[in-house]
A = this chain, B = another copy of it.
C-alpha cells in the first residue's frame, strides 16, 4: 500500500480511508486559510461552527435522519452510554435487554445499577455464537425500552432482522457496524455508536435520539449525563472532542461521495463474502458464528487447536497483517473488516491463509 501502510484488522480503533487522512495531513498547519489547525480552534468560532454543522448535516443526509431526531456528539465512549441510557430513558425503572455477547453484557451490568433489567433473550448457552429469536418476546407493558447491541464486536454476530419490540422504544448500540449499511432510523428511539471502529478517532460517541425521549425533569443528574444538556447546546455545552467531529465529518463526506450507505453495504457484502466463502471451504479454519447471524464487520474464526491458532496469528503478524488475534474471551482469530478495509486487504489475507493451510497439509 501507499506510504508503506499495512492492512490493519484491528477491532477498533481501526483503519480510516486514506484520502481522508491525506486531507487531514494537508490541513494540519493551516485549515483552509483560517491560520490555525483544527485542534487550535475555539469551538465557539465561526470556522469551527461550520465544521460541526457540516458534520451533522452530512450524517443526516447519509442516514436519512428524520427532523424529529437529534444528533449528539458525546465523550466517554459506549461505556458512558451504558449508564446514560438507563439514567435518561428509564421512566418506569424497567428495561428489556437482549444478551448477545460481551458488549450487551456490559450494558446490562450498568443498567442494573439504575433499575430493573429483564434479560428477555440470550445466546449465552452457545457462547454467543448466534442471535436469539426475538420475534415474539414477553415484554412487560411498562418497559421503558428494549436494548440490543446490533453487532457484537468480540463475538462476531449481527442483527440482520431487528427484534419485535411490540411497540416499545428500541435502543441500539451500533458501534461496530455504524454506517456499514442503510439504517431506517425511524425504527429506533435511540441509536449510538463509538466512532473509533467504523468512522474516526476514539473519544466520541454519536447519539441519535428521538426528541420526545429527551427529558427535562432530570435536573438532579450530573449535567454532563443529561441528553438534554447536549441536545440544547448543539453538543457544545462544554468543549466537545472537536478533532473527532472534524475527522468523522470528513468520513461522512467521503461516504456520501462513494454513493452513500447503499454503496458501502454492497462493498461490505462483497468483502465479507470473500472471507466467509473461504472459511466455508477451508478444512483448517472455520467461522464461529452461525451463518445467518454472521457479522459483515467482525469475523471470528478458529482452527481445531489453540496452539495452531497461535501459530497462525504469529504468521499473519510476521507477514504484515496486523491485529488478528481473537479476543481472549473467544480465542482463535478475528479479522475486523470495517468500511475502510479495502477488498484487496481481505483478498490478500485470505490468500495468505489459503497458502498457510496448503503448506500445513503438505
- Measured CB to CB, the residues of A under 8 A from B are 2-6, 8, 10-16, 18, 21-22, 24-25, 28-30, 33-37, 39-43, 45, 75-80, 82-83, 87, 109-110, 113, 194, 196, 200-204, 220-225, 237-244, 247, 320, 322-323
A244 nearest in chain B by CB position: B203
- Residues of B with C-beta under 8 A to A200: 39
Q: How far is the CA of A17 from the CA of B36 in the complex (A)?
A: 11
Contact indicator B78/A75 (Cβ below 8 Å): no
Known: A3-B30, A15-B36. A203 touches B242 (CB 8 A): yes
Enumerate chain B residues within 8 angstroms of A203, measured Cβ to Cβ: 75, 203-204, 239-244
The residue among A42, A80, A240 with the most chain B CB atoms within 10 A of its own CB is: A42
* Residue in contact with A194 in the complex, picked from B80, B194, B239, CB distance below 8 Å: B239
Instruction: Please tell me if the beta carbons of A322 and B113 are within 8 angstroms of each other in the complex.
Output: no
Give 4 A-B pairs besides A12-B239, A22-B28 with Cβ atoms closer than 8 angstroms. Answer: A15-B36, A25-B25, A43-B202, A203-B240
> Can you show 12 pairs from A to B with CB atoms below 8 A apart?
A5-B29, A6-B36, A10-B42, A12-B239, A21-B29, A21-B39, A35-B322, A45-B322, A75-B76, A87-B222, A113-B221, A196-B242
State how many angstroms separate the Cβ of A269 from the closest Cβ of chain B. 23
Point out the residues of chain B lying under 8 angstroms from A13, CB to CB: 39-43, 239, 242
Is there an interface contact between B83 and A224, defined as CB atoms closer than 8 Å? yes
Q: Is the beta-carbon distance between A322 and B36 smaller than 8 angstroms?
A: yes
Whether the pair A5, B39 counts as a contact (CB closer than 8 A) is no
Closest to A8 in B: B36
**Contact in complex: A76, B76 (CB < 8 Å):** yes
Q: How far is the CB of A346 from chain B (nearest CB, A)?
A: 17
How far is A238 from B56 in the complex, measured between Cα atoms in Å? 25
User: Are B220 and A113 in contact, CB atoms less than 8 angstroms apart?
Assistant: yes
Q: A110: which B residues are within 8 A, CB to CB?
A: 222-223
> Which listed residue (B5, B12, B36) contacts A5, Cβ 8 A?
B36
**In contact, B40 and A10 (Cβ under 8 angstroms):** yes
B21 pairs with A35, CB closer than 8 A: no
Are the CB atoms of B241 and A202 closer together than 8 Å? yes
- Collect the chain B residues with CB atoms within 8 Å of residue A82's CB: 222-224
What is the distance, in angstroms, from A340's C-beta to the closest C-beta of chain B? Answer: 8
> Chain B residues near A238 (CB, 8 Å)?
77-79
The smallest C-beta distance from A303 to any residue of chain B, in angstroms, reads 22
Q: In the complex, which of the residues B28, B45, B221, B323 contacts A28, with contact meaning CB atoms closer than 8 Å?
A: B28
Cβ contacts under 8 Å, A39 to chain B: 13, 16, 21, 200-202, 247
- Counting chain B CB atoms within 10 Å of each CB, which of A222, A223, A247 scores highest? A222
In whole angstroms, how far apart are the Cα atoms of A18 and B29 in the complex? 8
Residue from the list B11, B45, B76, B87 in contact with A323, Cβ < 8 A = B45
Bound together, the chains give a CA A33 to CA B4 distance in angstroms of 8
Residue numbers in B under 8 Å from A22 (CB-CB): 28-29
